[in-house]
Amino acid sequence: MAIETSCDETAVAIVENGRKVLANVIASQIDLHAKTGGVVPEVAAREHVLKMLPVLEEALETSSCNWDDIDAIAATKGPGLISSLIIGTETANVISCVKNKPLIPVQHISGHIYSNWLDVEEEVQFPILILTVSGGHNELYLMRSHFDFEVLGETLDDAAGEAFDKVARILGLGYPGGPAISKIALEGDSKKFNFPKAWLEKGSLDFSFSGLKTSVLNLVKKDDFNTADVAASFQEAVVEVLSEKLLMAYKQYPEVKEVHLAGGVSANKRLREVITEKFGKFAPAVKFRHPKSMSYCTDNAAMIAAAAYFKWMKEKGGFSVSNIVPIASFDILC
Ligand code: KG4
Ligand code: ZN
């Protein structure tokens, strides 16, 4: 069982052997935060308190599991909003003590990475090149084995999802920005505006999206524009940089067997399409994966359970009550 409360989703999942999803319950706070155009941490935390136990009960009910079926309890330890994280980690601490289950703290981004193991039956092949694109993070990793991640590149300013959210706000498209932009972009001309693409120095696998966002802001201030065209051109600029840097990384590490896309922005259909096209052309032998369900792209607890399973198997080899992590070691700030 895993709990995820790092931002504005109260989520509990039950996953068998890190892959088979028995329950994946998500109480989204989107409607609540749409009123303020973004997440207010105190409001999010209060909502987590209200939703935590009903979501937990629903997960047990949906999976038809009882507490004896649960081998261990995992929770997101960070990064995220501290007041939101505390609700999930404290719930996990209590379950661990009262029900005598091993406690597994999971780093949120490693959770996103393991979303590509959910509902996958065949063996995933290492080494893997991973592009994580979310509201709070944007990195390129080389993963040589379970829980062995090398950072190849990261954002120097905004994450891709953050850029989607900020541009959506500029265009008056509401929150969250990613789905709103990708929807209206379908009606726009992606070649209408040639927005800047930050390639940075030659060969760099880092990202930067703040210049692109400023460029949209400047255009909107002075010109008469069509929102769909701006959205489509902006999306195309983000997709071009993300997919091209992924291909550049592959050229630097041609031993890679699989390429994975993870995080909220992995729900973006245009991004999936362009990566599929580019790798189909330049590296057809490489397997491209994105999360099998849209609900595994944005924050969810199934991915936390998957990461917890592989972390625990690597570190301890199996689940047993003697492996319970003492509460003091569950420090969400580390
Ligand atoms: O992974 P996630 O749920 O939360 C973080 O860990 O940050 O990602 C949320 C981000 C938001 O910025 C949202 O705008 C973006 O994912 N997103 C999308 C799409 N769906 C969600 N961005 C682009 N296209 C989408 N279809
Ligand atoms: Zn996330």
245's tokens: 């840097």
Measured CA to CA, the distance from residue 333 to residue 327 in angstroms comes to: 14
Over residues 233-244, mean pLDDT: 98
Q: Is 153 in the pocket of ligand 1 (CB under 6 A)?
A: no
Strands 103-107 and 73-78: parallel
Note the pLDDT of residue 327.
47
Provide the pLDDT confidence category of residue 36 given band limits of 50, 70 and 90: confident
Given a cut of 70, whether residue 331 has pLDDT beyond it is: no
* Beta-carbon-side half-sphere exposure of residue 273 (alpha carbons within 13 Å): 7
Report the alpha-carbon distance of residue 138 to residue 208 in Å, rounded.
10
Near ion ligand 2, which residues have CB within 5 Å?
134, 299
The domain defined by 122-291 folds into: Nucleotidyltransferase; domain 5 (3.30.420)
Q: 110 CB less than 6 Å from ligand 1?
A: no
pLDDT band at 316 (very low <50, low <70, confident <90, very high): confident
| Closest C-alpha among 254, 310, 256, 264 to residue 290 | 264
Ligand nearest to the CA of 136: 1
Identity at 95, one-letter amino acid code: I
Sheet (strand 128-133) strand order = 148-154, 138-145, 128-133, 258-262, 287-289
Q: What pLDDT is recorded for position 325?
A: 54
pLDDT value for 165: 93
* d(CA 79, ligand 1 centre) in Å: 16
Residue 268 near residue 178, CB atoms below 8 Å? yes
Cα–Cα distance between 133 and 298 in angstroms, integer?
10
Please determine, for residue 333, whether its predicted confidence score (pLDDT) is greater than 60: no
Q: Domain 2-114+296-329 is of which CATH architecture? A: 2-Layer Sandwich (3.30)
Residue 93 has a pLDDT of 93
What is the average pLDDT across 146-173? 95
Please report, to the nearest 10 degrees, the dihedral formed by the alpha carbons of residues 330, 32, 53, 329 taken in order. Answer: 0
Compute the average pLDDT of residues 118-145: 96
Cβ atoms of 196 and 211 closer than 8 Å: yes
The verdict on the CB of residue 268 being under 6 Å from ligand 1 is yes
Q: Relative to the alpha carbon of 138, which ligand is closest?
A: 1
CA distance 175 to 249: 32
Torsion of CA 12, 270, 245, 295, to 10 degrees: 0
Across residues 83-98, what is the average pLDDT?
Answer: 94
Tokens standing for residue 148: 């062995």
Instruction: Tell whether ligand 1 has an atom less than 6 A from the beta carbon of residue 178.
Output: yes
DSSP for 246-282, please give it: HHHHHHH-TT--EEEEESGGGG-HHHHHHHHHHHHHH
Q: What is the pLDDT of residues 95-122, one digit of tens each?
A: 999 999 999 999 999 999 999 999 999 9
The answer to whether domain 2-114+296-329 and domain 122-291 are alike in fold is yes
Long-range contacts of 65-72 (CB under 8 A, 24+ apart): 65/14, 65/22, 65/23, 67/99, 70/1, 70/14, 70/99, 70/101, 71/101, 71/102, 71/319, 72/1, 72/101, 72/102, 72/103, 72/104, 72/308, 72/312, 72/319
Whether 136 is in the pocket of ligand 1, judged by its Cβ within 6 Å, is yes
pTM comes to 0.94
Average pLDDT, the chain: 93
Sketch the domain layout of the chain as residue ranges: 2-114+296-329, 122-291
Report the separation in Å between the CA atom of 293 and the middle of ligand 2, taken as the mean of its atom positions: 15
Q: Which ligand is nearest to the CA of 8?
A: 1
